[in-house]
Amino acid sequence: MPEVLNYSIIGLEDYLISFESYCSTCEIQKYCKYGKENPFSVKINCGDLNRAKEKVKFDQLQKLQKKEDVSVTYEELLKKVKVNLQNIFSQIWKEKVKAQKDEIRCLDTNKRDAMLVAQQGQDWWQDFNSTIKIVNEECEKIL
């Protein structure tokens, strides 16, 4: 059963999510850039997270303003805006984890069986998703 990843505050609005629990010695891990001494980690800035949410709100507001009648107030439009945090978290996952697949051999289908990579990636994503939700809640307290 997957564990929630370790996270820690590294600045006023910065969190570090560490994949240290995944850095175990195995035949493929020994070729990885990351290990127990230097675990793979992802830096999350609360400001960046907040800006991503605000961008989604802004984009949705622009679309709604084009569709809705001009008599609809700004406050009414804001009530119709829905921010899908999963999409934001997924984008962070793609940019900060999946993009590093050359350094993380167990997520690279060129280095490992695609079925194993898919399962490993799913486990990592579930743990990352659980952890970033907690980080997001902490960030909302700060901002």
Q: Is residue 55 part of a domain?
A: no
Q: Are 7 and 42 in contact (CB under 8 A)?
A: no
Give the separation between CA 18 and CA 5, rounded to whole angstroms. 6
Q: Is residue 61 part of a domain?
A: no
Q: Is residue 78 part of a domain?
A: no
Give me the tens of pLDDT residue by residue for the chain, a chain 143 residues long: 346 688 888 988 999 998 877 765 555 555 666 666 677 788 999 998 999 999 988 998 888 888 888 888 888 888 888 889 999 999 899 888 878 766 666 666 676 777 777 777 788 889 899 999 999 999 998 86
Which helix (H) or strand (E) is 87 found in, with range? Answer: helix 85-96
For the chain, what is the total number of helices (H) and then of strands (E)? Answer: 4, 3
Question: For the chain, how many structural domains are there in total?
Answer: 1
Q: Is residue 118 part of a domain?
A: yes
Q: Is residue 62 part of a domain?
A: no
Give the separation between CA 117 and CA 124, rounded to whole angstroms. 10
pTM for the structure as a whole: 0.77
Angle formed by the axes of helices 85-96 and 46-67, nearest 10°? 130
Give the separation between CA 38 and CA 123, rounded to whole angstroms. 21
**Residue 13's domain spans which residues?**
6-46+85-142
